[in-house]
Structure 1
Amino acid sequence: MGNKKNFVLDTNVILHDYKCLFNFQDNDIYIPIVVLEELDKFKKGNDQINYNAREFVRELDEITDDDLFTKGAKLGPDLGNLSILVGYNYPEEVKAAFPERTPDHLILAATHFLASKNPDTKTILVTKDVNLRMKARSLGILTEDYNNDKVTNIDIFESEQRYFDGIDPQIINDIYKSHEGIPAEKLGLNIDFKSNECFILNSGNSTVLARYVSATGMVKKVIKEKNFGIEPRNAEQSFAFELLNDPNVKLLALTGKAGTGKTLLALAGALRQSREYKQILLARPIVALANKDLGFLPGDEKQKIAPYMQPLFDNLNVIKHQFSLGGADYRYLQDIQDKGQLVIEALAYIRGRSLSETYCIIDEAQNLTPHEIKTIITRAGEGTKMVFTGDIQQIDSPYLDSQSNGLVYMIDKMQGQSIFGHVNLVKGERSELSELASNLL
């Protein structure tokens, strides 16, 4: 047990993953009493962090061992002990650097106390707060991020679709001729394709946009076609439409920087298939900026969330403007909105619902935690398709990053499943100015 460590958990780790206690192997876990006080402030509310706070307190309540406040209570087989740190002082070293006794500084004091008490055991503060990690290091306290749900390989979120040269011209000809496609092994590439991966095949004289169909093991051509008035402007957008229009791909992720068309493509795909689903649901998480929550905004509940939903309405208006004001398609769009078949709302409102026969689009999914993504997907009933869109470089949550957000976590875990697909959009199509800003600023 010479390598056994002591881990002190910050509040934000628990709010990120209420099951975190069971992810530290046989190492011992310590929770400063001030963390429980902070959790108490988060118990009321309908957001995921409120749910996590309540669930964690329930987990603690099941540990009835009185040793929780002394020598620690056993968490389970092959796991360490859990202890609540109480009665620690505010050491002079911490006081000199941080005289104000804020919750963060009290957590530093608890970690300093534990490290001093156990000099032969590594004591590590685990927090998702970068600033607190900096403060800890200034005091010589070991610290690290909560890495349990971090994705190590994020290259697939930054690269273009794969391009294969030197393909036999006859093979490309066969792909063009066959509706079902050809067996993947006939390509002679000797590689493992990702779930429903799309790519470009080139023989030198001819090129085909192709897709690997996970359910059949075949490679088929991707047809460039319009979706409800929206025409793909590049190969990546054609790939997105291919998977958006396939009812057998029940879970799809569209990633890419701003201006690549993620949300617009997803909405156009949903509208094309609107008669095959009872409802189209567009939702996005509400992430307040500049420390201003919904209470800061005037009006009732619907008026408060309206500014956050406006980007979704903007994309709907882009599609509407493809048609004449009195045309059949325009009237149809207005009609399904009026009848509640096309709904745009805040993501928090779908908690507890069962989404059957619904085409569900979750926008800005990079601002969700892995647990939130799981909660949403488990809402899916029979006949439901879920599309998650997001830019992993534009994360508004202070405790998520490009490796730990729920969108990349889902993509990483779902690879290999025949009902899953992922398209990364690289080329911006919003405008020349938008593309220039995205690349240079």
Structure 2
Amino acid sequence: MAKTKQEAARKIFVLDTSVILYDHNAIHSFQEHDLAIPISVLEELDNFKKGDDTLNYEAREFIRVLDDISGNHNLNEWVSLNGKDKGQFKVLMNGNKDDGTAQKFGQSKMDNRILDAALSLKREKPDQKVVLVTKDINLRLKAKSLELPAEDYETGKIKNLEHLYEGCSTIEQVDDTELDDLHTHGFCDVGSVTDQQQVANHYYVLKSNNASALAYYNAQEERIERVDKPAAYGIQPRNAKQSFALHAILNPDVQLVTMLGVAGTGKTLLALAGAIEQRRNFHQIYLARPVISLAGAKLDPYMQPLHDNLKMIQNQFSEKDKNYKRINDMLEKEKLLITPLAYIRGRSLSKICFIVDEAQNLTPHEVKTIITRAGEDTKFIFTGDINQIDTPYLDKQSNGLSYLIDRMQDNALYAHIALDKGERSALANLANEVL
């Protein structure tokens, strides 16, 4: 029987372990196409089941997803995926040792067994295009050397990194009378400042020939409002973008804040100082980091920078000052909790200020999972540097922080600032620029 055009165009995507550990729901992201997973991938996932790491969670969840799909069917045969216009699914047995991969790469590595299985499927299904999907660049290169088409997993990746939202901009040649209104009344009309399409909570440096002002677009009031240089628990912003970031953190109408910046730009310090300044608005403040692979190392050194930021805030006051003692009291009563992110999974997130540091090491799915658990009066602050990613198979385009910034812009509940000026020391700034 002749195949329909749709059947002829249907591809078979073979997923490797890296895709599953990135997104346990990946199996539902390929529309009408067929999917296959080598049994070697299931063996590898078995090694990731136990633990509190993000990878462990993804492995466990995928195994549950696969169990739901299988039902009473044998998975070594094609099984229809649930849902309209979905394809079929199958677990592939390891390929034939005579297929050629063993001679080229050997059979000791799991990656080579995955290649064998995909190549065997390609020979078994000559009328369908078989594509290996992996986030492992080296595995893609090996596949292509064997004339096996290979692709990255695109779900969750942002397309135009160069145009990633920065959260603020400068407008030159503003009329002096508008800046006078801004200083006198605290606001001015949008049209008198710019004819650009407005983005909710976008920040501006407004400059005339004689003066300048900091401002932002209030989407609820539909006007430009002045941004004063705020302070938070003894911490003063040192530049315009730090002022914008702290303004967003202290704005009760903004429930989600993201900050990008290299080390030394003040991301974590501002987030923590702003949270402590608003301590009366929350039952608890969480300062957390995602757990990454530390090769058996202890967690304490990895969490120490968070304690260092807290100590810097505390040292704005003398040891006898009530503000100094208050921080110790908050720690003792767990009103302020510094912890690996995995340790607070499942906790209630109502009336919480939740700071996630190093958020570039999260997947888009994990970021979504965190935010969708938000209860009433909860505020999230995500900070990170997308140039410093430690999680395997994440990059600038596919990490959760980039994904969050790309998807959330122009929402009245959200604000973002890209910090670009280091404030540690002249030497630290020089190193960031030239090394």
Would you call these one fold, judging by a TM-score over 0.5? Answer: yes
Does the aligned pair in 2 maintain the 1:244–1:266 contact within 8 Å?
Answer: yes
RMSD of aligned residue pairs (Cα, Å): 1.9
Q: Report the Cα distance in structure 2 between the residues aligned to 1:69 and 1:185, rounded to whole angstroms.
A: 64
Q: Report the Cα distance in structure 1 between the residues aligned to 2:350 and 2:166, rounded to whole angstroms.
A: 34
Q: Report the Cα distance in structure 2 between the residues aligned to 1:71 and 1:344, rounded to whole angstroms.
A: 48
Residue 60, structure 1, aligned to residue 66, structure 2:
yes
Equivalence for 1:177? 184
Following superposition, the deviation at residue 215 of structure 1 comes to 2.7
Does the aligned pair in 2 maintain the 1:195–1:422 contact within 8 Å?
Answer: no
Residue 275, structure 1, aligned to residue 269, structure 2:
no
Aligned length: 428
Alignment map for 1:185-196 (pairs within 5 Å): 185-187=191-193, 189-196=194-201
Q: Report the Cα distance in structure 2 between the residues aligned to 1:216 and 1:373, rounded to whole angstroms.
A: 30
Give the gaps of 5 or more residues in structure 2. Answer: 1-5
Q: Report the Cα distance in structure 2 between the residues aligned to 1:329 and 1:440, rounded to whole angstroms.
A: 39
Give the gaps of 5 or more residues in structure 1. Answer: 298-303
Following superposition, the deviation at residue 159 of structure 1 comes to 5.6
Residue 201, structure 1, aligned to residue 195, structure 2:
no
- Equivalent residue in structure 2 for 1:232, among 237, 245, 248: 237
SS of alignment partner, residue 55 of structure 2 = helix
Alignment map for 1:96-175 (pairs within 5 Å): 96-155=103-162, 157=164, 161-175=168-182
Q: Which amino acid aligns with 1:142?
A: P
Following superposition, the deviation at residue 422 of structure 1 comes to 0.4
Q: Report the Cα distance in structure 1 between the residues aligned to 2:98 and 2:178, rounded to whole angstroms.
A: 73
Q: 1:279 to 1:67 in 2, by over 3 A?
A: closer
Q: Report the Cα distance in structure 2 between the residues aligned to 1:87 and 1:372, rounded to whole angstroms.
A: 31
Q: 1:190 to 1:242 in 2, by over 3 A?
A: same
Residue 375, structure 1, aligned to residue 369, structure 2:
yes
Following superposition, the deviation at residue 157 of structure 1 comes to 4.9
Q: Report the Cα distance in structure 2 between the residues aligned to 1:79 and 1:90, rounded to whole angstroms.
A: 32
Equivalence for 1:36? 42
Does the aligned pair in 2 maintain the 1:65–1:73 contact within 8 Å?
Answer: no
Residue 3, structure 1, aligned to residue 9, structure 2:
yes
Alignment map for 1:317-332 (pairs within 5 Å): 317-332=311-326
Q: Report the Cα distance in structure 2 between the residues aligned to 1:369 and 1:351, rounded to whole angstroms.
A: 15
Following superposition, the deviation at residue 275 of structure 1 comes to 2.4
- Equivalent residue in structure 1 for 2:228, among 223, 228, 237: 223
Moved over 6 A (4+): none
Q: Report the Cα distance in structure 2 between the residues aligned to 1:185 and 1:416, rounded to whole angstroms.
A: 18
Cα deviation digits, residues 29-60 of structure 1 (max 9, x gap): 11111112222222233333323222222222
Following superposition, the deviation at residue 329 of structure 1 comes to 1.8
SS of alignment partner, residue 319 of structure 1 = helix
- Equivalent residue in structure 2 for 1:351, among 341, 345, 360: 345
Cα deviation digits, residues 256-275 of structure 1 (max 9, x gap): 11111100111111121122
TM-score normalised according to structure 2 size: 0.93
Equivalence for 2:3? none
Residue 413, structure 1, aligned to residue 419, structure 2:
no
Q: Report the Cα distance in structure 2 between the residues aligned to 1:178 and 1:13, rounded to whole angstroms.
A: 54
Residue 213, structure 1, aligned to residue 222, structure 2:
no
Does the aligned pair in 1 maintain the 2:99–2:116 contact within 8 Å?
Answer: no
Q: Which amino acid aligns with 2:95?
A: Y
Does the aligned pair in 2 maintain the 1:252–1:422 contact within 8 Å?
Answer: yes
Following superposition, the deviation at residue 378 of structure 1 comes to 2.4
Following superposition, the deviation at residue 426 of structure 1 comes to 0.7
